[in-house]
Structure 1
């Protein structure tokens, strides 16, 4: 379990690093991923070049932060969520570019999809693989109750006292009434000679 968590965490962190690095590489037609506005993913691709803080780097940075938290908490769900965010925004970008360009092209001369998209895809897939490799936090140990019940025994208890159930019957029975003995009237519970 420990080895799986370590291996999954390493793979996930590599995937998160790839996702954050991808916008700084060329995505399409010589244009870096950080040159696309984040709102372009929802309204359509434009030629406006945003600041880095307003580019599509943001969702990948958020995915990387979720990955770090997931690794620290050993949460497969958080790491998987980071992978889904990375892939979802990459697919969303591809859809918007495909609408503007009337299709996506793959060319080796820098006029189509480029290495930045491949790195983003690789980052998302590595995040999902890392989540699958992680074994999670594991079951919590059960708490032992504080109550204690002493086992039944036929000897003295912890205080050194002997209970009446441990004595022979002839010692627990009241003394037999012999001749000349009885209970004087007016004095219940006391034994003495009859007058």
Structure 2
């Protein structure tokens, strides 16, 4: 039970960090909510166009957070792991597309380059995967053993076999 509680707590923290990450700076001070989701899948790559909130990087992270919440409610390790993979996949896909558009990726403390939003996304994905590893999940259902009977077994219901001594004997026949 402790493992499920700890895994659930890690999963909820990871889901919160995933939803919060698009509202932080991702690259050159541009927030993750400003990147259109379709830019990750088109041939043009990342553009300077701003997307609506629900059509930005916010959408896959909200879906991952909902998966994590369902995973906590159902105590499902698989759903928690899929939420972590979803967050990491979109963060990596964004990095690949941003690197293609910019020519390279840089990390800088002056607000240029990769920002805290990317770090939040990777941290959230790692926390969700860690939560899946920590969670014990639902207990497996075992077949219940029948309670012991206190009455004598019915001889008519027992299978006949060579060791069966309850079979009525046949009366002897006259052999004259």
Q: TM-score, structure 1 length as denominator?
A: 0.74
Could you say which residue in structure 2 is the equivalent of 1:92? 93
Q: TM-score, structure 2 length as denominator?
A: 0.82
- SS of 1:27 mapped into structure 2: strand
In our comparison, the structure showing a higher alpha carbon Rg is 1
Aligned length: 154
Answer yes or no: is 1:48 the counterpart of 2:68. Answer: no
- SS of 1:39 mapped into structure 2: helix
- SS of 1:123 mapped into structure 2: helix
Following TM superposition, the consecutive aligned residue runs of length 4 or more in structure 1 with deviations greater than 6 angstroms are none
Structure 1 residue 148 displacement after superposition: 5.6
Cα shift readout 1:172-194 (whole Å, capped 9, x = no counterpart): xxxxxxxxxxxxxxxxxxxxxxx
Could you say which residue in structure 2 is the equivalent of 1:184? none
RMSD, aligned α-carbons: 2.1
Could you say which residue in structure 1 is the equivalent of 2:105? 104
Q: Which consecutive unaligned segments of at least 5 residues does structure 2 have?
A: 155-165, 167-176
Q: Which consecutive unaligned segments of at least 5 residues does structure 1 have?
A: 154-164, 166-195
21-30 vs 140-149, greater mean Cα deviation: 140-149
Structure 1 residue 151 displacement after superposition: 2.9
**Where in structure 2 are the equivalents of 1:28-39 lying within 5 Å?**
28-39=27-38
**Where in structure 2 are the equivalents of 1:8-87 lying within 5 Å?**
8-43=7-42, 44-87=45-88
Structure 1 residue 141 displacement after superposition: 3.7
Structure 1 residue 143 displacement after superposition: 3.1
